[in-house]
């Protein structure tokens, strides 16, 4: 089955992408209360992006919706009547802060007929780029930044009463300086409202938005009734990735020559496995990304060496399968097992978007190639890949039959 790629021009650099999990089958987002879904505005899926706007000197998170050719005229008319509401962080020291006024961005390439509609955005100010991003099923947006902030907001809430007044600017995005340095990963718990953050400073925190509190996973700590802490072992290497495996267990990965991936039981505070997973490449540079495989006790890992590996957490002595790809692997997402068994989508620094299947002997199927690197990816609602590129692009790769169905809709 051939794959087809659709390219959208963003007009900003994006480092992270997550599909809006609240989206309905038709592409509309049922929980969005900030922007009414007018006719012609919801035929495409919605995605959250971590972006950098060089023109305005701003960095932050945006929710965008993909629009097809027949929607553009209607959307332009809608914007003249009722502009898209933005939720920008207002720095009191900048009284004349510019705001983005061209919320509907069209592709520069004349051969492209799709556009991007900006639904919401949250500005984090300057020199605070988004390093990681995740969204819960209820629309809670979590972002980690290069400066060490862990940020959260509930998409669709625009009322000033939802603002956290403890934070400068009173914007809808709540910023907390939790890490000293880059936040490597932020991940929503699949069963609770909590989120996990892991930083290059070696610290791991669990954030509870309902209590407005963050609990650090301390070195050598013991769990208590009020605060869960975990033994982080010898802390070898700085943290480069982390993810939840279930509502009770999570893993953290480290970089450097002593690359390790450790599995923790969040409720008991103990290592869930007696063995730590090590990079399959001797003397490797460490892990860059990890992703669980839905409904399976497996984990996909990838990193600097251009290797992607599958681990069975029940037998962590060595990976089940390891394959090489072109360039560093910047993102990997495990797919729900199908006829081909365990599989994953991945993107690389060399611009490759690929699919990797276990039953195919670890063969890597190239789905699309960009001129520049592909920074991050996530699954689409149709089982394809949505990617952000170094050239200000959002690329959606889907099987040809899905692409044909989309064209029939328009």
List the one residue out of 162, 171, 163 whose CA is nearest residue 58: 171
Share of the chain above pLDDT 70, in %: 66
Spatial distance between the Cα atoms of 108 and 10, rounded to a whole number of angstroms? 10
Q: Per residue in 260-304, pLDDT tens? A: 778 888 777 666 653 456 655 544 556 788 999 888 888 888 877
Among 120, 110, 105, 208, smallest CA distance to 157 is for 120
Confidence of residue 168 (pLDDT cuts 50, 70, 90): very low
Residue 29's region, left for phi above 0, alpha for psi from -120 to 50, else beta, is: beta
pLDDT tier at 148, thresholds 50, 70, 90: very high
What band does 2 get if pLDDT is binned at 50, 70 and 90? confident
pLDDT digits (tens, 9 = 90+) for 32-73: 223 323 323 334 789 999 999 988 888 999 999 987 554 444
Q: What's the rounded Cα separation, in Å, for the pair 251 and 244?
A: 6
Is 217 in contact with 203 (CB distance < 8 Å)? yes
Residue 31, pLDDT above cutoff 70: no
CA–centroid distance for 373 within its chain: 16
**What is the overall mean pLDDT for the chain?**
72
- Mapping DSSP to helix (H, G, I), strand (E, B) and coil, where does residue 34 land? coil
**pLDDT-derived band of residue 172, with 50, 70 and 90 as boundaries?**
low
Task: List the structure tokens of 175.
Answer: 């910023």
Q: What is the DSSP string of 83-96?
A: PPP-B----TT-TT
Contacts 24+ apart (CB under 8 A), 219-223: 221/269, 222/269, 223/267, 223/268, 223/269
DSSP 410: -
- Report which of 152, 147, 150, 149 is spatially closest to residue 162, judged by C-alpha positions: 152
Out of 109-118, 216-225, 332-341, which region has the weakest mean confidence (pLDDT)?
216-225
CA 284 to chain centre: 25
Of 337 and 198, which is predicted with more confidence? 198
Rounded mean pLDDT, 87-94: 36
pLDDT confidence bin for 363, thresholds 50/70/90: confident
Q: In what order do the strands lie in the sheet with 195-199?
A: 183-188, 195-199, 204-208, 213-217
Q: 291-328 in b/e burial notation, b at 16+ Cβ within 10 A?
A: bbbeeeebbbbbbbbbbbbbbbbeebeebebbbebeeb
Tell me the whole-structure pTM to 2 decimals: 0.77
Give the Cα separation of 163 and 381 in Å (integer): 31
CA distance 26 to 12: 26
Angle at 338 between CA 337 and CA 339, to 5 degrees: 140
Distance CA(184)–CA(16), nearest Å, equals 12
Q: Report residue 253's pLDDT band, with 50, 70 and 90 as the boundaries.
A: confident
Q: Give the range with max mean pLDDT: 19-33, 258-272, 334-348.
A: 334-348
Residue 60: how many CA atoms within 13 Å on its side-chain side?
28
Indicate left, alpha or beta for 398 from its phi (over 0: left) and psi (-120 to 50: alpha). beta
Instruction: Compute and round to an integer the Cα radius of gyration of the chain.
Output: 21
Q: Which helix (H) or strand (E) holds 69?
A: helix 69-81
State the pLDDT at residue 244.
92
- The count of residues in the chain is 410
Does residue 249 register a pLDDT over 80?
yes
């Amino acid at each position: 089955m051939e794959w087809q790629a659709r390219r959208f021009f963003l007009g900003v650099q994006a480092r992270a992408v997550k599909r809006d999990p609240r989206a309905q089958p038709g592409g509309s987002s049922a929980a969005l209360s900030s922007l009414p879904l007018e006719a012609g505005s919801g035929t495409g899926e919605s995605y959250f992006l971590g972006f950098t706007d060089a023109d305005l000197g701003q960095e932050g998170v945006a929710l965008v919706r993909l629009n097809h050719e027949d929607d553009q005229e209607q959307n332009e008319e809608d914007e003249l009547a009722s502009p898209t509401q933005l939720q920008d962080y207002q720095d009191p020291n900048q009284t004349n802060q510019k705001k983005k006024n061209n919320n509907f961005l069209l592709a520069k390439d004349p051969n492209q007929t799709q556009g991007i509609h900006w639904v919401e955005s949250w500005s984090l100010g300057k020199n605070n780029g988004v390093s990681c991003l995740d969204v819960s099923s209820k629309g809670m947006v979590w972002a980690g930044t290069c400066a060490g902030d862990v940020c959260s907001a509930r998409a669709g809430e625009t009322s000033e009463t939802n603002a956290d007044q403890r934070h400068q600017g009173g914007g809808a995005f709540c910023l907390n300086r939790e890490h000293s340095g880059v936040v490597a990963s932020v991940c929503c718990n699949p069963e609770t409202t909590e989120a996990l953050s892991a930083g290059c400073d070696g610290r791991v925190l669990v954030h509870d938005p309902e209590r407005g509190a963050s609990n650090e996973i301390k070195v050598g700590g013991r769990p208590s009734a009020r605060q869960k802490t975990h033994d982080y072992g010898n802390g070898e290497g700085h943290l480069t990735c982390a993810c939840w495996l279930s509502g009770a267990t999570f893993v953290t990965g480290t970089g450097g020559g002593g690359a390790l991936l450790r599995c923790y039981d969040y409720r008991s505070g103990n290592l869930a496995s007696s063995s730590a997973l090590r990079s399959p490449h001797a003397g490797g540079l460490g892990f860059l990304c990890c992703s669980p495989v839905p409904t399976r006790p497996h984990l996909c890992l990838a990193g600097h060496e251009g290797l992607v590996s599958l681990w069975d957490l029940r037998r962590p002595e060595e990976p089940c399968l390891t394959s090489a790809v072109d360039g560093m692997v910047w993102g990997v997402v495990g797919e729900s097992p199908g006829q081909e068994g365990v599989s994953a989508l991945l993107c690389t620094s060399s611009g490759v978007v690929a699919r990797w299947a276990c039953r195919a002997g670890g063969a890597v199927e190239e789905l699309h190639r960009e001129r520049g690197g592909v920074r991050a990816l996530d699954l689409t609602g149709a089982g394809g890949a949505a990617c952000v590129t170094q050239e200000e692009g959002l690329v959606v790769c889907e099987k040809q039959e899905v692409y044909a169905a989309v064209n029939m809709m328009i």
